[in-house]
Amino acid sequence: MIDINLLRKDPDLVRENIRKKFQDHKLPLVDEVLELDKRKRELQKEGDERRAKRNAMSAEIGRLMREKKAEEAAAVKAEVVANNERIAAVERETEEISEKLKKDMMSIPNIIADDVPLGRDDTQNVERERFLQPAEKPFDVPYHLDILEKLGGIDLDSARRTSGQGFYYLIGDIARLHSAVLTYARDFMIDKGFTYVIPPFMIRSDVVSGVMSFEEMDGMMYKIEGEDLYLIGTSEHSMIGRFMNTVLDEKELPLTLTSYSPCFRKEKGAHGIEERGIYRIHQFEKQEMIVICKPEESGEWFKKLYSYTVELFVSMKIPVRTLECCSGDLADLKYKSVDVEAWSPRQKKYFEVGSCSNLTDAQARRLGIRYKTEKGNAFAHTLNNTVVAPPRMLIALLENHLNEDGSVNIPEVLQKYMGGKTLISPKR
């Protein structure tokens, strides 16, 4: 959510930002917010004046009663009643306008960085850097599900019976490899100085509306029937929600946290959910990194965060590239975003395995996350990034470390988490 003062001062900047994101349907919100804001301030002024008048009239009634002027006191009492009725009406209208104003403000996208490339969708994202040269394999790389089945590592048929499409059982060495990746990612981030956290896997609606836009919520979140609870789509949700309506000490910043959680997503509108495979699924696990910092620090932290993901993948000998998200591909709260994509030897192209975002103070404003300064309280900046999400990570690992006989080499950094194993061999 942007600062209302920015909208008052420079509405044309906000309009231009909406156009850059190709959301022209939201342009009327700017004028609507300005009108609502003007009316709200008028009502607040009237309410303050009438409450002051009420206090003065109460004192006047007391004086008249002491002077035995009952008839005059009764007339003033009648004024008090009328004034109180108007105060109640003003407060009701103020509340209604405040709710509408908040909803409109939460629909206006965050101001994006000046250097964000302009584009309508992810097809116009811009490649920035590549790391490790993809190796040409002297054989055709099978579809990842075929690799998993040959290794005896997956059971989709049983998952369809128990849970439906978009779920899976991982088995044996593949399940262990999945856990090894997560454990390695956890230790990797701890070694970077991050504090490890396991958060709640369900959050209330006020946290949901604070961490994401309404459009994202509808397309992602699972609601618990009969409860004000949602299953998290990523641990960022409950991790950032932990600091809702808090004032942090400036000396505590930056907060650098890494969290593990299962994640649950509808994948509404996603293509390929009915296909074989585990690229888009309803349940997966992820290691995340979150930073809460002062505004002047967020640009540098943004670069650090996605560089950590690159470093992690490179340490497992998986070629990756960074891709800067264009304006139309940025979610409403994002100021800037970089995706990390891994090389797929089968497809001969890169695919997304992580996303790093700087949300500046947009998320903090929605959730009320501030910190103390010498000049008063200020809104913090929030950032998040995927360390690793094993379903896609597994695809990248299996394809890049596959041997012609169907076996898969275990990267050296993972071997200690696999009991010293160096290879996963096909099952007979």
- Give the range of the structural domain holding residue 269, as residue numbers without chain letter: 122-424
Provide the pLDDT for residue 276: 60
Task: Evaluate whether residue 149 is within a structural domain.
Answer: yes
Separation of alpha carbons 146 and 234, rounded Å: 28
Mean pLDDT over 51-66 rounds to 89
> In this structure, are 84 and 128 located in the same domain?
no
Mean pLDDT over 103-121 rounds to 94
Task: Evaluate whether residue 226 is within a structural domain.
Answer: yes
Task: Evaluate whether residue 113 is within a structural domain.
Answer: no
> In this structure, are 169 and 315 located in the same domain?
yes
Mean pLDDT over 19-23 rounds to 96
Task: Evaluate whether residue 114 is within a structural domain.
Answer: no
Tens-place pLDDT, residues 311-350: 999 999 999 999 999 999 999 999 999 999 999 999 999 9
Tens-place pLDDT, residues 351-362: 999 999 999 999
Tens-place pLDDT, residues 394-420: 999 999 999 999 999 999 999 999 999
Residue 272, sorted as left (phi over 0), alpha (psi -120 to 50) or beta, turns out to be: left
> In this structure, are 139 and 248 located in the same domain?
yes
Task: Evaluate whether residue 112 is within a structural domain.
Answer: no
> In this structure, are 148 and 80 located in the same domain?
no
> Residue 271 above 80 pLDDT?
no
Mean pLDDT over 61-72 rounds to 88
Tens-place pLDDT, residues 87-103: 999 999 999 999 999 99
Number of domains within the chain: 2
Task: Evaluate whether residue 32 is within a structural domain.
Answer: yes
pLDDT band at 268 (very low <50, low <70, confident <90, very high): low
Provide the pLDDT for residue 275: 52
User: Which of 188, 148, 165 shows the shortest CA–CA distance to 394?
Assistant: 148
> In this structure, are 145 and 57 located in the same domain?
no
Task: Evaluate whether residue 117 is within a structural domain.
Answer: no
> In this structure, are 260 and 375 located in the same domain?
yes
> In this structure, are 413 and 282 located in the same domain?
yes
Provide the pLDDT for residue 221: 85
Q: Mean of the per-residue pLDDT values for the chain?
A: 92
Task: Evaluate whether residue 247 is within a structural domain.
Answer: yes
User: Which of 357, 110, 379 shows the shortest CA–CA distance to 246?
Assistant: 379
**Which of 59, 83, 107 marks a domain boundary?**
107
CATH number (domain holding residue 81): 1.10.287.40
pTM above 0.95, yes or no: no
Tens-place pLDDT, residues 173-221: 999 999 999 999 999 999 999 999 999 999 998 898 888 776 677 778 8
Mean pLDDT over 235-259 rounds to 95
> Residue 274 above 50 pLDDT?
no
Tens-place pLDDT, residues 1-13: 889 999 999 999 9
